[in-house]
Amino acid sequence: MFMSSSTPDPLDLFLQAHLDGVREAERCLGIVEKRLSDADRDSLFLGCKAALLVIVQNDAGLAVNDPLYRRNALQIARDALQQSDRSTALKIQLINGLAWARLGPRDPDHARAHEFLREFETSYQFSDLPPLMALEGLVALCLLHEDAGFPQKGAACFESACRIDRSQAEVRLKAFCGLRQRARRS
């Protein structure tokens, strides 16, 4: 992924953190916070900050059930959504849905993932997002539907992900399952 040092892409930053874990999430969070303090409060960067906070909190095992930390991240995401247009809102919802989906089905805040991903699921267009972001969203929805007892919907989401890139969908499904397994142990 290419990123200019002067204007980092918030989707690239989120995806790097999502794929590489807490150390990368902390690094990307620093970049996002610096960008937010240097410029006007861009809604996509604000939404990215909210998602990165969830990844850092979950992956680092920081006060796993700290409701204040999670409420803060949730409020930042809501603020970002209020400031954004429809296209940007979809991206904010997707990255926050992916961050919350990492928590796993036994976490009390797990339902937040589907709340964020609902719009992505109903109005998704392949051309709206980078392919890997769309694939990640579909894999997350696959697991969320299975968690909710709808394996057919989960299978349909996974097949859609496979149409983007079958081998990558399989790798990301396995990785997501691993993230959720670790979240259960925290």
Tell me what pLDDT residue 3 has.
44
Q: Give percent of the chain with pLDDT exceeding 70.
A: 90
- Mean pLDDT over all residues of the chain? 88
Task: Reply yes or no on whether the pLDDT at 25 is more than 70.
Answer: yes
**pLDDT category of residue 88 using cuts at 50, 70 and 90:** very high
How far is Cα of residue 25 from the mean position of the Cα atoms in its chain? 12
- Does residue 160 or residue 68 have the better pLDDT? 160
- Enter the tokens of residue 182: 């670790």
Cα 55 to Cα 5, 26, 153, 157, 160, distances in angstroms: 23, 9, 26, 23, 25
Q: What is the reported pTM?
A: 0.90
Tell me what pLDDT residue 1 has.
42
**pLDDT category of residue 2 using cuts at 50, 70 and 90:** very low
Average pLDDT estimate for 91-98: 95
Average pLDDT estimate for 68-81: 93
What is the H or E stretch that residue 33 is in?
helix 22-38
Tell me what pLDDT residue 105 has.
85
Tens-digit pLDDT profile for residues 96-145: 999 999 988 888 888 999 999 998 888 766 567 889 999 999 999 999 99
Tell me what pLDDT residue 138 has.
95
User: Which residues 6+ apart lie within 8 Å of 4 measured at CB?
Assistant: none
* Number of other CB atoms surrounding residue 40 within 10 Å: 7
